[in-house]
Structure 1
Amino acid sequence: MKREEQKLSGEFLKDQWFEKVLVSMNEALFKEQGALLEDHGHIYPTLHILGAPRSGTTLASQLISSFLPVGYINNFIATYWKAPVYGIELSKKLLGLEYVSNFKSSFGRTDAIREPHEFGYFWNYHLKYPGLQQQEKEHEKEIDWEDLSIILNNICYRFDRPAVFKSFLLGFHAAKVCQVMPKTCFIYIKRNFLDNALSILKLRKKLNGDVNTWGSIKPLQYERLKELDVYAQISGQILALEYEYFNQLDKVPQKNKLFFRHEDICEDPASFLGEIGELLNTHDTSFNPEILNVQPFQKRIAEVSEGEKTKFLKAKDRVLQLFPEFENL
């Protein structure tokens, strides 16, 4: 299955020859990786970060991978999306496990080789998603959950510790994956609506090169939302994703999930990390990290004109009229 790529512009355009090299490498290693996979069972928990685009999920992943003893997919390992065992072992040998982030990113993309990566190709492949649009409930039957479980368990085993991921697509199947892998944990990051919406508008301009082109993950309601104006599309994207993720997380045991505000994480990252540590300790009692005194982060407050603010708030009301089920959020 060929992955449907997002429309990117400028500095975000991909090097097509490099992409061909990576595809060839992954196909070759994938055939050999099977002999390296081991059945250790579900020893370590995995932690999956959810939220709307531009809600602070990248900062959360950088904090967790920097200050908690977890494995994470860096930009080097991500190039081995069909053969992560090879990527992890090479990364451990060449780059080491411990790293403190530079806390820089551009629309969720990081540059340094040891910075966290979303591992999008991996999730598209294993969840059988052609692109970034949420699939209907019946799609879960097409996913090989046993195979995904084996791969995730091996990833954790190669790190010899719990692993953290940004897993927007997996969030649509949070309830199912918790049934298959009971130690799976989720955290949801929520950001001030206006700041979030304006940041997505900026993403469309910079990343896509066209404010009218949809940016990032698409909820189940995408086909209806795409017929609306830009402000309603973005408002609907935030509300719909929250609705879909929350519906899944409602079915996840309380001991497997936490919810955070982006603004609170920025103000008190140490408390955020402490709660994550307690969450993982519930599923791995040997996980008792020392939480350092991490300095607060300056909250990114988008500059907004009264005109744009009014447009987004009116658009939000219009979306809530079209999708009254979102009101309960």
Structure 2
Amino acid sequence: MKQVVKKTITCIDRQLVNLSRTRPGLHFGGPIFVIGPPRSGTTLAYQLLTACFDFGYITNFEAKRPYAPGLAAVIAEFLGRGSSQEGMQFSSEYGKTPGRFGPHEAGRFWYRWFPAGECVYVRSGELGAERSEEMRKFLLFLETVKNKPLIFKNVYHCARIGILKEVFPEAVFIVIRRAPLEVAQSILRAREKTGGGRAKWWSLPLPPPYGIPDNMHWPEQIIRQVEDVYCEIDEQRVAKGSERFFDVDYASLCREPERILHSVKSFLESKDIHVTWRQKPPASFEPGPEKSVSNADYLALSKALAVYHSRSEEA
């Protein structure tokens, strides 16, 4: 019975989106994508941006209803998210934020168009005209419902930059930059805390042809995950136009969030994406220690990082 109800709701949802008025591009410009390797600080950046600026985004309420994202968006707005979250909450658990209307990565939402699993990197032209148009039309609908610029965060978008830029030529990308060794330590802790252990792959795979390598020792895996994802971003940046990318240093964001948010706002307005303040951010955040793992693990990751850089220089 539940499946019948869900299928019925999904059909209604599709009709709702299909009946919406179409137009060439997003009225408010963009969309905006917050990207970076896993554990680089993208969630904190996303929380700050959605709490302090008047953006439209996919909420936790909507993400729990991936079978009817259009209806869920309409209901979320009707329930009164309006222009305020449930206070400013900046805690998170591996990308999961608190509150009914907190910002969500919405992985299942994006899997409507993009592949899951190990082979998640999609190049320009590989998505297909039908799925590209469906995604474009839904985001146009979402913008109409939210009535404000759209912003999304999902680390897997690092694997989709070319397609996203192809479908949305006016898209902009906010890249979160964090010291690779700090990111690597955080990934190691995530591997151990989520139950898989340090040798178990966690989160975004490596760019092709590697995917999820099983022939690498865990320190090399983790360093490659951080550095290769940043390389993927930088390659796409060159290929798709660096003027649509903006770097945010994670440490600076923690020390001076208001100053960094002002710089982000200026960048967005230079790209005709006009946003308004909703509230000021906290004065600062604790960025975390430079060393957060055992001495032995820190040394192993440091050595792997040095080897990676030496090989890059030789190449």
Normalised to the residue count of structure 2, the TM-score between the two structures is 0.86
Residues 80 and 32 (structure 1 numbering): CA distance in 2 closer, same or farther, change over 3 Å?
farther
Alignment of 1:264-283 (within 5 A): 264-283=252-271
Residues 46 and 194 (structure 1 numbering): CA distance in 2 closer, same or farther, change over 3 Å?
same
Residues 84 and 311 (structure 1 numbering): CA distance in 2 closer, same or farther, change over 3 Å?
same
Matched with 1:65 is 50
Count matched residues: 307
Secondary structure of 1:96's counterpart equals coil
Matched with 1:87 is 72
Matched with 2:142 is 155
Cα offset for 1:303?
Answer: 2.2
CA contact 2:149–2:273 (8 Å) conserved in 1:
no
CA contact 1:110–1:117 (8 Å) conserved in 2:
yes
Secondary structure of 2:248's counterpart equals strand
Unaligned runs of 5+ in 1: 1-17
CA contact 1:53–1:217 (8 Å) conserved in 2:
yes
Residue in structure 1 matching 2:120, options 134, 156, 163: 134
Q: Distance in 2 between matches of 1:22 and 1:306?
A: 54
CA contact 1:41–1:153 (8 Å) conserved in 2:
no
Residue in structure 2 matching 1:260, options 226, 248, 266: 248
Give CA deviations for 1:287-314 in whole Å, capped at 9, x if unaligned: 3547736411111224233322210011
Q: Distance in 2 between matches of 1:231 and 1:94?
A: 46
Matched with 1:188 is 175
Residues 202 and 248 (structure 1 numbering): CA distance in 2 closer, same or farther, change over 3 Å?
same
Q: Distance in 1 between matches of 2:193 and 2:38?
A: 14
CA contact 2:81–2:101 (8 Å) conserved in 1:
no
Residue in structure 2 matching 1:103, options 79, 90, 97: 90
CA contact 2:48–2:281 (8 Å) conserved in 1:
no
Residues 226 and 25 (structure 1 numbering): CA distance in 2 closer, same or farther, change over 3 Å?
farther
Give the aligned residue type for 1:249: R
Cα offset for 1:198?
Answer: 1.0
Residues 22 and 68 (structure 1 numbering): CA distance in 2 closer, same or farther, change over 3 Å?
farther
Cα offset for 1:52?
Answer: 0.7
Secondary structure of 2:152's counterpart equals strand
Alignment of 1:30-45 (within 5 A): 30-42=13-25, 43-44=27-28, 45=30
Matched with 1:113 is 100
Give CA deviations for 1:253-275 in whole Å, capped at 9, x if unaligned: 34421001110100111122112
Q: Distance in 2 between matches of 1:25 and 1:282?
A: 44
Q: 1:174 and 2:157 equivalent?
A: no
Alignment of 1:46-61 (within 5 A): 46-61=31-46
Cα offset for 1:29?
Answer: 4.4
Secondary structure of 1:220's counterpart equals coil
Matched with 1:244 is 232
Instruction: Identify which range, 179-188 or 26-35, moves more after superposition.
Output: 26-35
Secondary structure of 2:239's counterpart equals coil
Instruction: Identify which range, 266-275 or 36-45, moves more after superposition.
Output: 36-45
Q: Distance in 1 between matches of 2:124 and 2:150?
A: 28
CA contact 2:124–2:166 (8 Å) conserved in 1:
no
CA contact 1:219–1:244 (8 Å) conserved in 2:
no
Give the aligned residue type for 1:140: E
Cα offset for 1:205?
Answer: 1.1
Secondary structure of 2:230's counterpart equals helix
Give the aligned residue type for 1:114: F
Instruction: Identify which range, 48-57 or 180-189, moves more after superposition.
Output: 180-189
Residues 269 and 116 (structure 1 numbering): CA distance in 2 closer, same or farther, change over 3 Å?
same
Cα offset for 1:321?
Answer: 5.7
Residues 87 and 283 (structure 1 numbering): CA distance in 2 closer, same or farther, change over 3 Å?
farther
Q: Distance in 1 between matches of 2:22 and 2:36?
A: 32
Give the aligned residue type for 1:178: K
RMSD after superposition: 2.8
Normalised to the residue count of structure 1, the TM-score between the two structures is 0.83
Unaligned runs of 5+ in 2: none
- Alignment identity in percent? 24
Residue in structure 2 matching 1:75, options 39, 57, 60: 60
